[in-house]
A = this chain, B = another copy of it.
Amino acid sequence: MSSSLVQISKPGLSPALLGERFADIRNVSLRLTAHLSAEDQMLQSMPDASPTKWHLAHTTWFFETFILEPNVPGYQSFDSRFKYLLNSYYKQLGAHPNRSSRGLMSRPSLEEVHEYRAHVDAAVLANIDEFDSKTLELLEIGLNHEQQHQELITTDIKHALWFAPLRPDVLASSTEGKAAPPMTWIDIEGGIHSIGHAGSEFAFDNEGPRHEVLLQPFKIASRAVTNGEYMEFMSDNGYRRPELWLSDGWDQLCAQGWVAPFYWDKDEDNTWWHFADDRMKPVDPSEPVCHISYYEADAYARWAGARLPTEAEWEVAAVRSPSRGTMLEDQVFHPQAATGEGFQQAFGDVWEWTASPYTAYPGFKPAAGAVGEYNGKFMCNQFVLRGGSCVTPASHIRGTYRNFFPPYVRWQFSGIRLAK
C-alpha cells in the first residue's frame, strides 16, 4: 500500500483549499498518536511494521524531500542527516537504513520529530501560494501518502502491543448478539465493463488507465463474511484439511500454527476473544471476520463452495450507478454516495481480498524521477484488496483504490467477500 505515490494528470488545485487539507491531515496524524507515549512510539515488532515515530517522521520527510527542497529557495533543512535516516526505500535518493532497524531510532526523540513536523509544516504553508501546479500535485500525493501511513500507524501499533511482553488482559464482557444482515447474491451481467480511475479527482497512478474489461456473468455477495460464518469453517476443521488450501497457504499454516484469525485467543471455556482497542473482547459473530490472510480467505471460499471475486468484478459490482448498472464516465466514488445496489459493507469495514494478483493495468506507465521510481516495483507476489477498513481515513477511500499485500499478511484489517 505504501508504494504507489504517483498520481494521474490533474487539473488545477487551489493552494488555499490544499493548504487547509494539508493542515487538517497533518493534524490527524498527531491526534491519532496522542495517546501513545514516546516509548510506545518506538516499538517495532516485525520488519514489516514500523514505529509510530518513524511514520510521523517519514511522512514529514516526504514533504521536505519532494516539495520544500526542490521548490523553496533557501529552505533550511531541519537536520541534514534526516535525508538518509528517513528514506524508506527510494533508491534514487541514495542509501537508506535497513527496514528492520527502525526500532533502534531512539534519536531523534519524539519531541524532536514533533518539532521537525512543525518546521516543515510552517515552511509548506508559508510557501504554498508560490507552488506551481506540478508541485501542488506532489503535495496532494504527499497528503495521500500520509493517509496511508495513518492506517499503518494503527495496524503497526496494534501488532506491537499484541507482542509486547505484557499482553493485554482478557476482560470479561458479554457479546451483544447483534444479527448480521442476511447475505444475498447480487447478479452482475457479463460483457464489457470499464474499470479504473478517470476524471479530475485524485488517484494513485496504479488506479489507471481506466480501461475496458470483459467479464462473464457472475454473482457477488451482498456483504462481507461474518465471524459467525467463519467460525463454522473453523468448526468444520477448516484449518486441518489440506485439500481446502493453496499449497503455499498450507505450508504457512503449518509453519505458523494458524488455527484462527490473527489476534484471536480462546479461553478455558472455549470462548473466542480478540484484541481490539487495547484490550481483549469477545468475538462478535455478526461482525465481518478480520485479520485473515489471503490464504485463509481463499480456503474459506473454497470450503463455502464459492470463490473470491477478481478486482474487476469487485469494482464493477461496488461502483455501479444504481440506475444504470455501470459507472458513469469520470465518476469518482465518495463513501457517502450510493454504492452498487445491495452491495453493503464495501467501504469502512474491512479490506476485501480479491483473487487478483497485483499487476499493471494495460497502458500503465511509470512516472519519471524518484517519486515515481517504484510505481511497478511491488507488482509481484502480492494480491489486491479492495474497499477500505474501519481504520482507513474516510477521505482516502474510493472505488478504484487498489490496496495490495502479500498473501500471508494478517496484521492488516482484511476480510472476505465471496463471489461465484
Q: Which residues of A contact B (CB under 8 A)?
A: 3, 37-40, 42-43, 45, 81, 85, 89, 91-92, 97, 101-107, 109-110, 160, 163-166, 192, 211-214, 216, 242-243, 245-249, 294-295, 298, 355-357, 359-360, 362-363, 373-374, 376-381, 407
Q: Which of B216, B242, B359, B407 contacts A363 (CB 8 A)?
A: B216
With A165-B97, A214-B213, A246-B378 as known contacts, state yes or no: A38 contacts B38, CB within 8 Å: yes
Please determine whether A166 and B211 come into contact, CB atoms closer than 8 angstroms: no
Closest residue of B by beta carbon distance from A245: B377
Q: Are B106 and A249 in contact, CB atoms less than 8 angstroms apart?
A: no
Partner of A164 from B107, B211, B249 at Cβ < 8 Å: B107
User: Bound complex: CA of A110 vs CA of B374, how far in Å?
Assistant: 41
- The CA-CA distance from A22 to B57 in the complex, in Å, is 42
- State how many angstroms separate the Cβ of A218 from the closest Cβ of chain B: 9
Copy total for this chain: 4
A106 engages B213 (CB within 8 Å)? no
- By Cβ-Cβ distance, the 8 closest A-B pairs, closest first, are A357-B357, A214-B214, A39-B106, A97-B165, A91-B242, A40-B106, A247-B377, A246-B380
Q: What are 14 A-B residue pairs whose CB atoms fall within 8 Å in the complex?
A: A42-B42, A91-B242, A92-B243, A97-B165, A101-B163, A104-B164, A105-B166, A107-B166, A214-B214, A247-B380, A248-B381, A294-B380, A298-B380, A380-B407
Taking a contact as CB atoms closer than 8 A, the residue among B45, B81, B91, B105 that contacts A243 in the complex is B91
User: A363-B216, A380-B407 are known contacts. Are A105 and B246 too (CB-CB below 8 A)?
Assistant: no
CB distance from A280 to the nearest CB of B (A): 15
A29 to chain B, nearest CB (A): 19
- Is B40 in contact with A39, judged by CB distance below 8 angstroms? no
Give every chain B residue within 8 A of A379 (Cβ-Cβ): 246
Contact B102 A165 (CB under 8 A): yes
- A304 → B minimal CB distance (Å): 14
Residues of B within 8 A of A212 (CB): 214
Contact across chains for B39 and A42 when beta carbons are under 8 A apart = yes
Complex: how many Å from CA A298 to CA B359? 12
CB within 8 Å for A109 and B39 given contacts A165-B104, A246-B379, A248-B381: yes
Indicate if the CB atoms of B89 and A247 lie closer than 8 Å. Answer: yes
When distances are taken between beta carbons in the complex, the residues of chain B under 8 Å from A3 are 247
CB <8 Å contact, A43 and B104: yes
**Contact among B248, B376, B381 with A407 in the assembled complex (CB-CB below 8 Å):** B381
Residues of B close to A249: CB separation below 8 A = 380
**In the complex the two chains form, is A85's CB within 8 Å of B246's CB?**
no
Residues from chain B with a CB closer than 8 A to the CB of A91 are 242-243
**Nearest CB of chain B from residue A278's CB, rounded to whole Å:** 11
Bound Cα distance from A264 to B231, whole angstroms: 40
Q: Given known contacts A214-B214, A377-B247, is B242 in contact with A165 (CB within 8 Å)? A: no
Q: How far is the CB of A364 from chain B (nearest CB, A)?
A: 9
How far, in whole Å, are A399 and B77 apart by their CA atoms in the complex?
Answer: 54
With both chains docked as a complex, state the minimum distance between the C-beta of A402 and any C-beta of chain B, in angstroms: 15
A248 contacts B163, CB within 8 Å? no
A214 neighbours in B (Cβ, 8 Å): 192, 212-214
In the complex, what distance in Å separates the CA atom of A309 from the CA atom of B273?
Answer: 48
Min distance, Cβ A254 to any Cβ of chain B, angstroms: 11
